[in-house]
Amino acid sequence: MSKLAQKVVLVTGGSRGIGAAITKRLAADGASVAFTYAKDASAASAVVKAIELNGGKAIAIQADATDVEAVEAAIEKTFATFGRLDVLVNNAGTAIPKPFEDTTLEEMDRVIDINIRGVFAATKAALKRLSDGGRIIMIGSAVGERAIAPGLVPYAATKAAVRMFTQALSRELGSRGITVNNVQPGPIDTDLNPASGDWAVPQKAATALGRYGRPEEIAAMVAFIASPEASYITGANLTVDGGMNA
Ligand code: NDP
């Protein structure tokens, strides 16, 4: 029996990078998966096709994480399509790497809107539909715990907020058997943080394993947290960073 058979999952930002790997992995584990994306409809439909080819069920929904009504509608569409909601993965996020003194207020607002306001809004809307015994899984960041390089000040601050949001929310949802956890990736090779180029060199060097991670290595942790085996883990920050924060 598949670990997530009969379960329904919504992943925000599931068309590329870490979110796409999570979407594919949870579908492979037997869940019906809905995911949102902001702009790239062709990347989203490629993820749906890949899952369907593998015998899984998936739908893609255009919903910018900064648009609360669109996110609420995505949750309702997931519920209407699959009849329930068991797992929310708050993955959509962004960074605008540059020195803090050069960062504009508009750029800070953008990072805050997606990385923290969007996470609050999606979680609040999902809670109306989430089954008792469900899972809320954040994709925070290892830099939410330890600032390993300059250039990520607003980003690191939002990811630290995600960490404390996770811990505080776990205290409110335990009575429903809902667990709330935060997976904190280190450097993972995606469009947001490619493993090649100048910016990658210090990040790679900062890890104990001397390499970037793959999106599938984050999806593996998310799959475990989503599974019945992780039933006693809540309020936890689970760092998957090749030893960067060791
Ligand atoms: P990518 O930029 O590679 O992919 C982002 C995904 O999110 C895409 O599917 C994109 O869809 C979607 N997305 C972007 N903006 C929005 C938005 N406003 N609303 C809804 N969807 C959106 O990012 P990663 O896969 O690298 O990052 C995913 C998460 O992991 C983020 O929260 C990030 O902070 C975190 N993380 C990443 C690390 C890394 O090294 N890569 C390290 C630590 C944490 P579309 O193409 O349509 O815009």
Q: Within a 10 A sphere around the Cβ of 129, how many other Cβ atoms?
A: 18
Does residue 199 have a pLDDT over 90?
Answer: no
**Is residue 33 in contact with ligand 1, taking CB distance under 6 Å?**
no
Q: Would you call 171 exposed, middle or buried from its count of C-beta atoms within 10 A (0-12, 13-18, 19+)?
A: exposed
State how far the Cα of 163 lies from the Cα of 169, in Å rounded to an integer.
10
Rounded to an integer, the average pLDDT of 169-175 is 98
User: At 227, is the pLDDT very low, low, confident or very high (cuts 50, 70, 90)?
Assistant: very high
**Is residue 18 in contact with ligand 1, taking CB distance under 6 Å?**
yes
User: Average model confidence (pLDDT) for the chain?
Assistant: 97
Ligand 1 pocket test target in 42, 45, 61, 94 with most atoms within 8 Å of CB: 94
Nearest atom in ligand 1 to the alpha carbon of residue 143 is: 43
Q: Which helix (H) or strand (E) holds 90?
A: strand 85-90
- Of all residues in the chain, the percent with pLDDT exceeding 90 is 98
pLDDT tens for residues 9-44?
999 999 999 999 999 999 999 999 999 999 999 999
Rounded to an integer, the average pLDDT of 218-246 is 98
Q: How far does residue 1's CA lie from ligand 1's centre (Å)?
A: 31
Does residue 59 have a pLDDT over 80?
Answer: yes
- Of all residues in the chain, the percent with pLDDT exceeding 70 is 100
Nearest atom in ligand 1 to the alpha carbon of residue 64 is: 19
Q: Give residue 15's identity as a one-letter amino acid code.
A: S
- Whether the CA torsion 97, 103, 107, 113 is positive or negative: it is positive
Does residue 110 have a pLDDT over 90?
Answer: yes
- At 197 the pLDDT is 83
Rounded to an integer, the average pLDDT of 174-201 is 96
State how far the Cα of 22 lies from the Cα of 88, in Å rounded to an integer.
11
pTM: 0.98
**Is residue 66 in contact with ligand 1, taking CB distance under 6 Å?**
yes
Verify whether residue 37 is a known catalytic residue: no
- At 16 the pLDDT is 98
pLDDT tens for residues 127-168?
999 999 999 999 999 999 999 989 999 999 999 999 999 999
State how far the Cα of 213 lies from the Cα of 111, in Å rounded to an integer.
23
- At 144 the pLDDT is 98
Does residue 1 have a pLDDT over 70?
Answer: no
Nearest atom in ligand 1 to the alpha carbon of residue 18 is: 25
